[in-house]
Amino acid sequence: MIKFTGLLFLLILLFSSHTIEIIASELADYPPVLNICRGINMGNMLESPYREGSWGTILKEEYLQLAKEAGFDHVRVPIRWSDYTDKNPPYEIEESFFQRIDEVIEQAEAYGLITIINVHHYEEIMTEPAKHKERFLAIWKQIAERYQDHPDTLYFEILNEPQNKLTASLWNQYLMEAIEIIRETNPDRILVVGGAYWNNIDGLRELKLPEDDKNILVTFHYYNPFEFTHQGANWAEGANAWLGRTWTGSFREKRMIELELDRAVKWAQENKRPLYLGEFGAYERADLESRIRWTNFVAREAEKRNIPWAYWEFNSGFGIYDPVKDQWRDELLQALIPENTD
């Protein structure tokens, strides 16, 4: 029985690898979503609580220049709009904060980077969705109106990682309403949308999208095996017990990643939607060699499937840039962009 089970598992894995090229080629026929391929998350900057810099880093213009020069073609900019929005109707966003976002978008555009701005760390809507629904929609109405005349190099990502009490059913409802509001002023802008359950692959199954809107890029996040990528992370319960986990790149380790990415691609194929790997990364407490192997493998496997990606993140706990030494962590950078040998 053990031998039979092992043989069956091997046959399944081999069959799966045979279908990768077929599925990826079909994805290539989907509606175009502009030319993004390799991106970087400017994380822990504009989504830090209370003010930019409260998590130890700010978004400097030079970081955008460095990203472009390193070979990234887009930046994903997480933004905690909820900390700069009135708590009472009409839920106005602070003008000074809007001006800061204007500045970042203009700087990124000047360096030839496509920019994805999102609503990030809106924690209140996750725990009290009904109470915050109208505020959430008002935030998007203001963002959409402000940037309606901006070039199509700006994408809108509607909400990072819906979870907790913002169930899949509720999220689908809020999402449809947000899209409708955005489309009043931005009929053709690329929207980035993910499923519930922290934007993981399983959340795609319950995601509902307007059938006639083809300018939607469907995102998912990937951090598996979680005990490896989040070992020692102080926000992940029990993470200290995972310290010492390695990722050796064994056949089984690689195949598990391939199979999970194939599930995402299968959903995309069935629903005729392009995919975007909006976050992936391994925390700094993991050993460097394992991080390099895992990062390179995930990036290359996404590319095999025609999935553009954005690494999490630039210069904090997962970062590929050392803000103290003001230099790239070269081995991690090369894991993402092998052509980069500087």
Q: Tell me if 310 sits within 8 A of 279, measured CB to CB.
A: yes
For residues 269 and 219, give the distance between their C-alpha atoms in angstroms, rounded to a whole number: 14
For residue 248, give the H/E element and its range.
none
> Of the listed 161, 177, 237, 270, which one is catalytic?
161
> What secondary structure does DSSP assign to 261-329, as a single string?
HHHHHHHHHHHT--EEEEEE---TTS-HHHHHHHHHHHHHHHHHTT--EEES-SSSTT-SEETTTTEE-
Q: Indicate if the alpha-carbon torsion angle 126, 132, 134, 137 is positive or negative.
A: negative
User: Is 279 marked active-site?
Assistant: yes
**φ and ψ at 315, to 5 degrees?**
-145, 30
The active-site residue, picked from 52, 279, 301, 313, is 279
Phi, psi of 88 (to 5 degrees): -120, 155
What is the distance between the alpha carbons of residues 180 and 83, in angstroms, rounded to a whole number? 24
* Helix residue ranges per DSSP H, 28-122: 61-70, 95-110
Contact assessment for residue 196 and residue 171, using Cβ atoms and an 8 Å cutoff? yes
Taking Cα atoms as reference points, which of 48, 216, 227, 255 lies closest to residue 116?
Answer: 216
Which are the catalytic amino acids? 161, 279
